[in-house]
Structure 1
Amino acid sequence: MPPRDPAAPGVRPAVRATAYLVAGVLALPSLAACGSTDDSGGAPSAAQDIAAAERDLITDGGKATWAVDALPETFNSFQSDADPATSRIAGAVLPSMYELDKRGRAVRNADYLESAEIVEREPKQVVLYKLNQQAVWSDGREIGAADFAAQWRALSGEDSAFWTARNAGYDRIEKIEKGANNLEVRVTFAKPYTDWRSLFSPLYPKDVMGTPDSFNDGARKTLKSTAGPFRIAEIDRKAGELTLTRNPRWWGRPAKLERMVLKSVPREERAAALAVGELDIAEVTPAEAERIALAARDSGAKGPLAHGPGAELTPAKALKSWVIANDPENEERAEAMAASVEKTHKAIKKYTKEQQGLRGFVVRKSLEPAYTQLALNGSGGPLADERVRRAVARALDREELARIVLKPLGLPVNPVGSHVALAGQDAYSDSSGAIGDQDTAEARALLADAGWVQGGPIKTAGSKADKKKAAADEDGTYIVGEEDGKPRADKDYEVRADNQPEAKAKREEERSKKDAHRGGAQGAYAPKGTAAPKPAGGPLAKDGEALNLKFVLPSGPGSEPLRAVGERIQRMLQKIGIRTELTKVPDDSYFKDHIASGQYDMALYSWPGSAYPATDARPIFAKPEPAADGSLNVEQNYTRVGTDHIDQLFDQALAELDEGKARDLVKKADARIWAAAGSIPLYQRPQLVAVRPGLANTGAFGFESPSYEDIGFLKSAAPAKK
């Protein structure tokens, strides 16, 4: 799978990176009426799936165990190593002034906030917060202005002793004062800020935010004071478990569950953990979701399973294995076969037992508030030319790519049309018209205009790897394998000859001969003797160099859908003469060593959606700027493609207090991001969550922030206490 999104629903990405590159300025065409004119985001592409139930139908008590990738390294959401588990815990134990609804819109959280509004616009923007009078920290102290002020000072960026990952919005605040009483907080902004609702969610107590030491280290291993429906009760890092229990000082709707346990379980081990009852809720891969569906289908069936280990073992193959395993003339071969058969039998037994355990689960499915994109690195090489990037974009059938991932799961196949919002959000508008629909002829014309000539001369190969490239079919593609981020020692390049036109024609001819031998249908294949089609011209070349791009993909378990999309993109680009080298690298080095460092031409990874696109999209698409030390600050713009105009539109949107005008500015910025063709949104990521039946108000949340206090077991299906 791609690198996990840097934030969970409702929490903005915190990761920043700096690369040492040099990028040129891109000139974008003038954009008039491009994209959709619809001002509404419409409905989300897929509804959430959480088995919603009223609270009076849910039993009081019980424990639910929820899988996470790992226990968080920090409980401070504003540090660089905060992860989705950090966000999940913060959502259950800390205040948030605003949450997200089903359409990804920010809504006031009445448990903490009676009201919040702009009370002054001139000469400066002033927001007045009125806090819930019952809101207290777990130590009994009122939540008030002192907590707001401490968080602002820590995140303002004024004091470098605070090791913060982001300060967006907080750096625009001039001062924070107590209002008529401690429950009123007046926030005065030095510069207008349209996304003021993004602030103070989550809100930490002043004893965490008050000093650099408490900010940097105090909240890494625990939170002494909390203010949510749950509190942190126990952390067992050796067992990989964190237990949340009801907060006795919680003033809102009491949590239905007595305990909620977050358990660290690697994704490849979750099916087994679900099967033995260790988990009640777990995000799963498409392959695991299919296993759960098959388990439900096979309930009550007799005989061996028609899937899993050994499913391909026919009677003839079984007989052959038995003969080899009992061959007295070749003891070594017989022992090896006997060991293989025994291993297969054990795998079948284990798989069958797990399938029986998985029958008790259902898969809740929707679309994540995140989209997968094709990133094009514009820092150098052929993709530094905007025309080449646009040619790549015009070669893609985005609907076909979305279909590969979403259709098998029964999810809507809708390509994403915006970089800054997702379908259902107010800021969503399909601006893909700025780049145009799939058009092979237009893509080839753009490459020709950029000087890439088909069949042009190519410099003589020198190195061993270059000779292999030169000896490949002229429309060849290559796969580069890596181990620990380095090329495999056994071979530099593996030519995928099976994908080439001549190889395909040869297979068709062989298939035709077999069909004729079997009495196949007349006219099903070309007449015998028909010449195999030849590739149309040679590779694209310019200044003696072939147009060849390095395409980086993750190699770990769960990444199969992403690799399938990458291979389909490879074939689409081959049609316009662009050759690609698929480089498969370990998941743990994929983002750090390749994406963030710029060691790629093309890559697939995801960005989370946001209710605050003016704030959160700007660093992703900001024009890289030279830093004081001579390096290039790319912020989160790992494609290294940006323009002054895009930055200006985001800056104008940030300072626009009219929400409609701010959205319009963000949409204009999106159209120009499309035209620059640094990243091509493809599809929303599927969200698949295995849930124990009878466990309500949890599953695939989509945009909406979870209501942790409402999660629980239906009275009709409540399990025994555990």
Structure 2
Amino acid sequence: MSYDGVGPRAVMRSVAFLTAGVLAVPWLAGCGSDDEGSKPLAPQDIAAAGRAQVADGGTLRWAVDALPQTLNTFQADADAGTTRIAQAVLPAMFRMDASGRPQRDADYLDSAKVVDTEPKQVVVYRLNQQATWSDGRAIGADDFAAQWRALSGKDAAYWTARNAGYDRIEKVERGKNDQEVRVTFARPYADWKSLFSPLYPKDVTGTASAFNDGARKKLKVSAGPFTVQKIDTKDKNVVLARNPRWWGHRAKLDEIVLHEVRPDQRAAALADGTVDVADLDPADAEKITLTAGPQGSRALPGPSRGRTAAQALRSWAVLHGSDQQAAAAERQAVQEGRGALTTYLKQQQTLRGFTLRKSLEPAYTQLALNGANGPLADERVRHAVAHALNRKELAETVLKPLGLPAQPVGSHLALSGQDAYADNSDALGEQDAAQARALLSDAGWVRGPVAQQKKGDKAAGSEGHRATPSPGGDGTYIVGENDDVEHNGDGKGHSRHDDRAAASGQDGRQGEEGHRDGRGPQQLAQDGRSYTQEHLPQGGAPGAYAPKGTAAPAGTVSGPLAKDGKPLTLRFVLPSGPGAQTLQKVADRVTAMLDQVGIGTQITKVPDESYFRDHIAAGQYDLALYSWPSSAYPATDARPVYAKPVPAADGSLSVQQNYTRVGTDQVDQLFDQALATLDEGEERELIRKADARIWAVAGSIPLYQRPQLVATRSTLANVGAFGFGTPVYEDMGFLKKGAKPTPGASS
């Protein structure tokens, strides 16, 4: 879904103004661990089989959300379909293994290494001598040079979405022969392995017109196990045919057809034979799981589900009563129900031919906190939100019912299994409701009826950071301070808050966990100082720091937390589409957790198509749930996501892809240092330190790795839930008669 899988290489398109404090956190012990990311939480599930077990021929029909708008992955409107096609038809110098780590692709590359660092970094690529384009021309230095010039950012005629890495190259030259390529960098670049993957032929990158328009709907020249045969907009298909010039293992399949199917229509498409492979949401995945069990082992969630005995008895009475008109209407309803049930049972029978493959996507879902303005512009309020959350419970809400590891994500920049992964969440701390309440009180949010607080009165503690957004040009989004977002359904917002007494026996929990003995909450560094007991306000709600069980003082009132006469209520924006049920469940849990510390939420559901564009990117939210994919190159790909907003040429402030509008100079410096070092160990440590600081400013809270649920026809091999790994398209196919998948099998 577009709202739950944003690519870090997407075009930068937001503008906002931000002021945020900088937290100084110590180096964490976890940052130095070399083996924390050694193992993915869940393995691939692809029905692995050796090539000898896979039959030659056949067509694999694969569901995609939509036909790609372009076949050029370097353009702004490239999507997941664009990437899938590029993986099957174009060269990549490095591809991802099952742990999300880049590995040399031997079909294209004999070797690639840094041969000089002084005075400048030089990388030499030695290409596979058999590697040729589909028109018969050898892949060579001219293709590398043309792609560099197109993506360098120096020629504005090329409409590129990203230039990262290519803008650091000084020159690309032919080496000893055309299959040796020397790339000299003007500035050191740690993530050089990310370049030239995919590699386009010079026919595409050689001129701006070919780059901008020529590769949108067709690729005349390619160099993979498959080629793009046609794009059929009428039948909504992209047909990839076996490449007769492919020099590697011959593709087992004759064709791979990518067919457009909306997510809410996937189960039906599988049942009617339209597709053989489809990503599913948890609700549809359950249908596959149910049909795999013994017949009758569980009640099927079909059309008759929920029909009680009383309803059945009433139906019988109407059918056999004296009211002929009512009986006729009931008879028609029964017949329609039988037809629906028959269709449903046929669908279930067909679905028995499919298997649900399960893993975890190389992506995580986060709670984003917009720090541009409003209550969340104050770091203490963001910290309070973070301390209100039980991340383990939220992960279990999504992953436990699916039988997947329910481990909260501990890093913004990598996932378990990747080299850069380390759990740095200690920089922020775990769930601690008492500390959350203390921070809110310090920020001036106190209990009591809103009407009793005079607008303009200064509550104890900081006012928080305030910002006035500036208009931006060039098609960027503008954050309007007073802009309203549409409400759900009937036009009414949905607000929740905790209106219990501040110092009742139950709310006396605020005095636990460090307050009974007179000590304040655990120290949190912000702007070079720590929050301790002496920094907390003395004019907070009566009994706010009383031990558990202390009687409430006279005059204590109930109500939401408020400041300057306004209640503490955060706008929580969610998508409303059919695939958003999981996010809604998570949002309900988050809302309940925030209620416990006195933070109210106003849920606003918006259409899928406008969720990201009009709300996340435009900054029209306080809280939101969306996902970022992980990357093997976080120094390159994650930097724009966490970069501190800076003034643009027109006077506005560019946020790049930092849609939470929270950033610090230290984080930017650590990313810059990581990009400039050629020592992989040092780069890893710098990335982990940057992640610790991102945790500390609490602009976003990673929650859980996204589930990957893929239904595949049971006779398919080497296709399914790929996890981190790049699919091996030439090994996909249908098992020979009698053959079975062999875990761990290889070619």
Common topology (TM > 0.5): yes
Match of 2:293 in 1: 297
Decide which of 295, 298, 321 is 2:315's aligned counterpart.
321
Which residue is 2:125 aligned to? 129
Q: Deviations over 1:626-676 (max 9, x none)?
A: 211122211110000001110010000000000100111111000000000
CA contact (8 A) 1:393 1:438 kept: yes
Contact between 2:290 and 2:300, CA under 8 Å: does it hold in 1? no
Larger CA deviation: 366-375 vs 28-37 = 28-37
Flag the 1:338–1:224 CA change in 2: closer, same or farther, 3 A: same
What CA distance in whole angstroms lies between the structure 1 residues aligned with 2:730 and 2:489? 54
The CA deviation at 1:369 is 0.2
After superposition, give the CA deviation of every residue in 1:286-345 in whole Å (9 maximum; x if it has no partner).
Answer: 11111011112254x49x9542221111232022234457776695x7777666545443
1:635 counterpart = 2:617:
no
Aligned to 2:492: 492
- TM-superposed CA distance for 1:718, in Å, is 8.4
- Once residues 654 and 545 of structure 1 are traced to their aligned partners in structure 2, the CA distance between those partners, rounded to angstroms, is 45
After superposition, what is the alpha-carbon deviation per residue over 1:549-570, rounded to whole angstroms, capped at 9, x for unaligned? 0001111112111110000000
List per-residue Cα deviations over 1:505-563 (Å, max 9, x = no partner): xxxxxxxxxxxxxxxxxxxxxxxxxxxxxx98321111111100000111111211111
Which residue in the other structure is 1:204 paired with? 200
Contact 1:244–1:261 (8 Å) recurs in 2 = yes
Report how far residue 454 of structure 1 moved. 1.4
Is 1:84 paired with 2:105?
no
- Which residue is equivalent to 2:545? none
Alignment match of 1:107 (pick from 72, 84, 103): 103
Letter in 1 for 2:76: S
Give the Cα separation in 2 of the matches to 1:230 and 1:717. Answer: 27
| Cα 1:145/1:458, change in 2 over 3 Å | farther
Q: Which residue of 2 aligns with 1:540?
A: 561
Separation in structure 2 between the aligned mates of residue 536 and residue 233 of structure 1, nearest angstrom: 72
* Cα 1:493/1:179, change in 2 over 3 Å: closer
Distance between the aligned counterparts of 1:381 and 1:337, measured in 2?
Answer: 56
Q: Which residue of 1 aligns with 2:536?
A: none
- How far is 1:13 from its partner? 2.5
How far apart are residue 404 of structure 1 and its match? 0.4
Q: Distance in 2 between matches of 1:384 and 1:325?
A: 64
Shift of 1:489: 6.9
Label 1:457 to 1:268 Cα distance change in 2 as closer, same or farther (>3 A): closer
Cα separation, partners in 2 of 1:621 and 1:563, compared to 1, 3 Å? same
Q: Does 1:16 align with 2:9?
A: no
Other structure's SS at 2:142 match: helix
Paired amino acid for 2:308: T
Tell me the distance in 2 between the aligned counterparts of 1:98 and 1:618.
Answer: 21
Residues 623 and 647, structure 1, Cα contact 8 Å, conserved in 2: yes
Pick one of 707, 710, 720 that aligns with 1:686. 707
Secondary structure, counterpart of 1:88 in structure 2: helix
Partner of 2:303: 309
Cα distance in structure 2, aligned partners of 1:253 and 1:224: 22
Aligned match of 2:24 in 29, 52, 55?
A: 29
- Is 1:267 the equivalent of 2:263? yes
Q: Is 1:156 equivalent to 2:115 in the alignment?
A: no
Distance 2:315 2:657 in 1: 55
- The Cα offsets for residues 576-625 of structure 1, whole Å up to 9 and x where unpaired, read as 00000111111111111110000000000000010001001100000111
Asked if structure 2 preserves the Cα contact closer than 8 Å seen for 1:2 and 1:562, the reply is no
Partners of 1:128 and 1:185 within 8 A in 2? yes
1:374-453 correspondence to structure 2 within 5 Å:
374-453=367-446
Deviation string 1:452-503 (CA, Å, 9 cap, x unpaired) is 11116447999xxxxxxxxxxxxxxxxxxxxx97335745245679x9889x
SS at 2:574 equivalent: strand
Is residue 496–residue 602 contact of structure 2 (8 Å, CA) maintained in 1? no
Partner residue, 1:118: 114
Alpha carbons of 1:109 and 1:546: their partners in 2 closer, same or farther (altered >3 Å)?
same
* Residues 1:34 and 1:15: Cα distance change in structure 2 (over 3 Å): farther
Could you tell me how far apart the structure 2 residues matched to 1:561 and 1:612 are? Answer: 29
- Secondary structure of the residue aligned to 2:3 is coil
Compared CA separation, residues 554 and 489, structure 1 to 2 (3 A): closer
Tell me the matched-pair count.
Answer: 657
1:67 and 1:262 in contact (8 A); partners too:
yes
Tell me, what secondary structure is at the counterpart of 1:603? Answer: strand
- CA deviation after TM superposition for structure 1 residue 278, in Å: 1.6
- RMSD, matched Cα: 2.4
Q: In the alignment, what sits opposite 2:696?
A: 675
* Bigger shift: residues 664-673 or 305-314: 305-314
Tell me, which stretches of 5 or more residues in structure 2 are unaligned?
Answer: 456-483, 502-555, 741-747
- Corresponding residue for residue 506 of structure 1: none
Matched, 1:42 2:38: yes
Give the Cα–Cα distance (whole angstroms) in 1 for the partners of residues 596 and 686 of structure 2.
37
Structure 1 stretch 359-368 or stretch 488-497: which is displaced more? 488-497
Would the aligned equivalents of 1:553 and 1:584 in 2 still touch at CA under 8 Å? yes
Q: How far 1:160 moved relative to its partner?
A: 1.1
Q: Does residue 650 of structure 2 align to residue 657 of structure 1?
A: no
Structure 1's 236 and 459: CA in aligned 2 closer, same or farther, altered over 3 A? farther
What is the aligned partner in structure 2 of residue 215 from structure 1?
211
Counterpart position of 1:465: none
Deviation at 1:14, TM superposition (A): 2.5
Residues 64 and 606 (structure 1), Cα distance of their counterparts in 2 relative to 1, 3 Å cut = same
Cα deviation, 1:16-57, whole Å, max 9, x if unaligned, reads: 2122x2211322133333645422212100011111111111
Shift of 1:347: 2.8
**Matched position secondary structure for 1:580:** strand
Quote the Cα distance in structure 2 between the aligned partners of 1:305 and 1:32. Answer: 54
Q: Which moved more, 1:551-560 or 1:643-652?
A: 551-560
1:72-101, CA deviations, whole angstroms, 9 ceiling, x for partnerless residues? 010000001000000000000000000001
Q: Which amino acid aligns with 2:259?
A: K
Equivalent residue number for residue 743 of structure 2: none
Instruction: Name the amino acid aligned to 2:303.
Output: P
Q: Does 1:144 align with 2:140?
A: yes
Measure, in 1, the Cα distance between the counterparts of 2:327 and 2:649. 69
Distance 1:489 1:683 in 2: 29
Equivalents in 1 of 2:131, 2:712: separation in Å?
Answer: 32
Select the residue among 336, 359, 369 that pairs with 2:362: 369
Q: 1:139 and 1:459 mapped to 2: Cα distance?
A: 79
What is the alpha-carbon distance in structure 2 between the residues aligned to residue 223 and residue 489 of structure 1?
A: 44
Q: TM-score with structure 2 length normalisation? A: 0.84
Which residue is 2:5 aligned to? 5
Kept after mapping to 2: 8 A contact 1:97/1:112: yes
Match of 1:352 in 2: 345
Counterpart-to-counterpart distance in 2, 1:152 and 1:564: 45
Match of 2:575 in 1: 554
Distance of 2:93 and 2:689 partners within structure 1: 29
In 1, the alpha carbon distance for the partners of 2:99 and 2:221 equals 32
Q: Which amino acid aligns with 2:5?
A: D
- Given candidates 598, 601, 604, the residue that maps to 2:622 is 601
* Aligned residue in 1 for 2:474: none
Please tell me whether residue 72 in structure 1 is matched to residue 65 in structure 2. no
The CA distance in 2 between the partners of 1:82 and 1:491, in whole Å, is: 34
Asked if the contact 2:447–2:557 (Cα under 8 Å) also holds between the matched residues in 1, the reply is no
The whole-number CA distance in structure 1 between the counterparts of 2:674 and 2:652 is: 28
Residues 261, 346 of structure 1: alpha-carbon distance in 2 compared, 3 angstrom cutoff: same
